Amino acid sequence: MPSPTLYEETLTRIDALLGDDADWVSAMATVACELHHAFDYYHWTGFYRAVTDDLLVVGPYQGGHGCLQIPFSRGVCGAAARTKQTQLVPDVEAFPGHIACSSTTKSEIVVPILTPAGRVLGVLDVDSDFPDAFDAVDQQYLERLCAGLGARFSRQRDL
Ligand code: SME
């Protein structure tokens, strides 16, 4: 069950760890690690980077195997990048075109990382082996975290 207190503590710790000079890759690696170890229902936690305006490539992650490339036209990650909207999926079997990198995943949340100008830098993807594991609390805090990353790396070109 998502806890606002645990999210507040985790996001505060991430901010402190990133400081003022973290680069894009070390920031993604640090965020994936801190989130994955803070929440027991997170079974895959990681980033896909928008290397072109229609292709996502996997970045730092925690957990089992992550698919390497996802076109914007496919999967939950593609839908988040294409629509620039968070995808909260209580049952991945019911999501048309869901890409199963792991056979144990039951539910998922994917949040786009947008610059203040609306450019897609990538997405934060979290999978759970529990059905219906994510709710509005997860969405609220993960969107806050991703907005911060989007603002911090708005000048980032090579993703
Ligand atoms: N399930 C995602 C693919 C990435 S794995 O979850 C790591 C999707 O449908 O886009």
Residues 106/91, Cβ–Cβ less than 8 Å = yes
Crossing angle of helices 24-38 and 136-152, rounded to 10°: 160
pLDDT tens sequence across 25-57: 999 999 999 999 999 999 999 999 999 999 999
Closest CA to ligand 1's atom 2: 99
Gap from CA of 78 to ligand 1 centroid (Å): 9
Q: How far apart are CA 104 and CA 117, in angstroms?
A: 37
Distance of CA 139 to the CA centre of its chain: 11
Pocket test for ligand 1, best of 108, 123, 134 (most atoms within 8 A of CB): 108
Candidate of 98, 106, 126 to mutate for ligand 1, largest count of ligand atoms within 8 Å of Cβ: 98
| pLDDT of 77 strictly over 70 | yes
Q: Is the pTM of this model over 0.85?
A: yes
**How far is the centre of ligand 1, averaged over its atoms, from the C-alpha of 75 (Å)?**
6
Each residue of 116-146: pLDDT tens digit?
999 999 999 999 999 999 999 999 999 999 9
